[in-house]
Structure 1
Amino acid sequence: MARTRSENYDGIHLGILTNAARLFSAQGYMRASIADLADACKLSRGALYHYFDSKEAILFAILDAHIREMIEHVETAVAAGGPTLTQFQNVIRAIVEVNAKSPHEQRVLIHDLSFLNADEQQTIKDLERQLVDIVTDLMLRLDAEGRIVKRTKKIYTMILFGIINFTYTWYDPKGAIGPQEFADMAVELFLNGFAPGGAAKSVAANRREKV
């Protein structure tokens, strides 16, 4: 006979993911025990296993939910339309805003993905690829001068993600610069840099000469 769900099942399920992400972020996935998880979630071990079969299942659920939420926000930003630059700006805003409200999940994604089994890792990596492909496509559409080629496409994309994905190590979204303004600063810096146009072109020309 199937076990019935309690009325607050979804709330407890979400609470487990939220508290587990905070615990894994602070303590590390491998060092966090089931007992630690039960304490963090204010549940018994038996209650915890009612929602998840294992600690690994909780880790997978955290990462899967985090990436899917980000993809959902990014796809919504693209679907809103507008010029390519506007779409690009809105996509970066979406990513920064999700990361800003989910720093623990982002830390766990970057540091603990390798603790999942191979199939689960591939599922998360496939989701990440969807996200990367959306951003890369917008970058290519913005690249009027053809700077992004096969050899450099991954590097340019990862430079951008490097700017926005590691903010959990230092950025305070409640500080003087909010997530939206931070995202706009990242877009401006990535697309235009600090130097005047002539200086930026000279750097690009010097790089091409050395290749």
Structure 2
Amino acid sequence: MARTQSQLYPEIREKILRTAGKLFAEKGFATATILDLAKACDSSRGALYHYFGSKEEILAEIIESHVAEMLGQLEAIESRRLEPEAHLSEVARCIMRLNAVNAHEQVVLLNDFNLLEPDLRRKIAGDQRKIVAIVRNALSRLDDSRRLAISSDSTYAMMLLGILNYTFAWYDRDGPISPESFADRTVDIFLNGFRSAQRPD
């Protein structure tokens, strides 16, 4: 007879993933052990294996879920058909909010992506290209001066993503600047330049 899952199964599984994301980001995936994770979860190795088959499966779930969540939310923004500037602002805010909440997952993505199985790497890389395309398309809607030539359109998209995606190294979401405010300032400077950017309140 199959073992019945607890009603708390999804919540416990999510807690393991969040704890593992923090552990892998701080200690490194290769260095962290299942025993380390069990201790961090106040659990046992056997209990962890009830939810995940291996440490590698946990890593795959962290990275795949992180990228999929961002892509899903950005696709939802695209479907709203906002005006160009509002659309870019919402795209930037979405990315910044997710990175502020999922800073550990972002570190794991950047550090350990190459440790995934090749098929999963290809799938996630495809989702990442879709994210770049969404940012590129948001910028192209504001490109009155036609700066986004075929040879440079992805470059500008990656510039903006670089500003937002690497905030994990220093940004404090509990500090004086909210994720939304940071995103708005980034878009303002990106579109208008530092000298002509609006002064924040």
> What TM-score bracket applies, with the shorter chain setting the length?
over 0.9
**2:5 matches 1:5:** yes
1:128 maps to 128
SS of 2:141 mapped into structure 1? helix
2:138 maps to 138
Q: Per-residue deviation at 1:56?
A: 0.9
2:193 maps to 193
1:117 maps to 117
2:34 maps to 34
Normalised TM-score (structure 2): 0.93
Q: For the residues of structure 2 that align with 1:7 and 1:117, how far apart are their CA atoms? A: 31
Question: Which of the two has greater helix per residue?
Answer: 1
Q: Please, what is the CA RMSD of the aligned residues? A: 1.4
1:183 maps to 183
Deviations 1:107-134 (A, max 9, x none): 1111111111111111211111121111
- Counterpart code for 1:187: V
Asked if 2 retains the 8 angstrom alpha-carbon contact of 1:96 and 1:179, the reply is: yes
Q: Per-residue deviation at 1:196?
A: 4.8
Q: Percent identity between the aligned chains?
A: 42
- Counterpart code for 2:3: R
Normalised TM-score (structure 1): 0.89
Deviations 1:20-59 (A, max 9, x none): 0000010011110111111112221111111111111101
Q: For the residues of structure 1 that align with 2:14 and 2:123, how far apart are their CA atoms? A: 21
Deviations 1:161-181 (A, max 9, x none): 110000010111111111110
Equivalenced residues, count: 197
Q: For the residues of structure 2 that align with 1:188 and 1:48, how far apart are their CA atoms? A: 45
Point out where structure 2 has 5 or more consecutive residues left out of the alignment: none
Q: For the residues of structure 2 that align with 1:77 and 1:151, how far apart are their CA atoms? A: 26
Q: Per-residue deviation at 1:8?
A: 0.9
